[in-house]
A and B are shown apart, each in its own frame.
Chain A
Amino acid sequence: LAKTTQPISMDSYEGQEVNITCSHNNIATNDYITWYQQFPSQGPRFIIQGYKTKVTNEVASLFIPADRKSSTLSLPRVSLSDTAVYYCLVGDSGGSNYKLTFGKGTLLTVNP
């Protein structure tokens, strides 16, 4: 099961682009990389998922280098409402019915 490492916390300011990097050195060939966002007193919310190169949706972009040992979640022009915990997960692809293992995540604080 691939483990992930990401910063405990990050600070930013409104309007800035924020990049959160996650390392997953032991990622397996069939594993996907998934990011979730969690606000206080709420369940996590799916943000984006990718396998390689770049994925973009209306919320974020996900950059994955060729070796797939890391990934970077990019949030463009953050606002105060983006203050949340962000989780990087690598899917357990060993025929285990899409189990996810959440780490402690990165607490992103956006300041005015």
Chain B
Amino acid sequence: DAGITQSPRHKVTETGTPVTLRCHQTENHRYMYWYRQDPGHGLRLIHYSYGVKDTDKGEVSDGYSVSRSKTEDFLLTLESATSSQTSVYFCAIAASGYEQYFGPGTRLTVT
């Protein structure tokens, strides 16, 4: 399996609080992605990165920000969590092309 970890794996937080999810890779891959998965919607891309300090928005980026200060870490921040952001969050990495390797996921519950 590709060396990709996510932390925390589970989190419960209250509405209005900031939350940061971390994705860490040991593969030195250039591309990193954050997705969310909800019943009935499949996986949706939130943000992605194509290099250190190079990021761009996906299809559901509102309410989320990201940062990538070094190759191995890609952080996803919910500035002020809302109940609609309750979801399973997956990070993925790719060297190039469309073969992405996914992390184990983070289950976030916003109460």
The interface of chain A, by Cβ under 8 A from chain B, is 32, 34, 41-46, 49, 87, 89, 91, 97-105
Contact = CB atoms under 8 A, between A and B. Distances in A.
Most chain B Cβ neighbours within 10 Å, of A42, A44, A105: A44
A56 to B, nearest CB: 16
A98 B58 CA distance: 12
Tell me the interface secondary structure of chain B in the complex: strand
Interface string B79-111: 000000000001010101111111111000000
Q: Which range holds the interface residue count of chain B? A: 20 to 34
A100 B59 CA distance: 11
A18 to B, nearest CB: 20
A43 B102 contact: yes
Nearest to B6: A43
B27 interface: no
A98 B45 contact: no
A30 to B, nearest CB: 12
B43 A46 contact: no
Contacts of B22: none
Contact of A98 (B35, B94, B101, B103): B94
B105 A98 contact: no
